[in-house]
Structures are given as structure tokens and as C-alpha cells.
Amino acid sequence: RLKTIAEKLHVKRAQLALAWILSKPGVCAPIIGASKMYQLEEAVAATAIKLSDDDIKALEELYQPHRIVGNL
């Protein structure tokens, strides 16, 4: 499903994942771990991706939340 939505939006799956996480309330700066310039450029481009409510719903249908582990 991730591949289908990414192809529809003409973006890479990693960019789609970043766009999804950025759509969550309270998330303003995900840690991406880019080690090459093109990875950073793709991550920056992901900030311009606008996901529809239907896209978000389709992505989240497969997601099962887990409790946070650690001292948060």
C-alpha cells in the first residue's frame, strides 16, 4: 500500500513516510539519519508533500500502535 500511494504522489516511499510523520500533531522535526546529500535533499522535499485524509487513512489502516518503551 505504501508503494501504491507513493507512486500515485510521484514520491519515494521514504518521502511518503516522512510526510506522514510530519502530518502528526506535535511532530515538527523528525530525526532522519541522512548520511548522503541526496538523502537530505529528498527529506527536505518531503516537507512539501501534502497527504489527503484518504491517503493518511490508507497508511494508518495497516499501522498498529505500540506503547512507548523507556523513560518518557
pLDDT tens figures, 24-48:
988 888 999 999 999 999 999 999 9
Find the length of the chain.
Answer: 72
What residues does each domain of the chain span?
2-60
Residue type at 14 in one-letter notation: A
Q: 72: pLDDT confidence band, cut at 50, 70 and 90?
A: low
Query: What is the end-to-end Cα distance of the chain in Å, rounded?
Result: 31
The predicted structure's pLDDT at residue 44 = 96
The predicted structure's pLDDT at residue 51 = 96
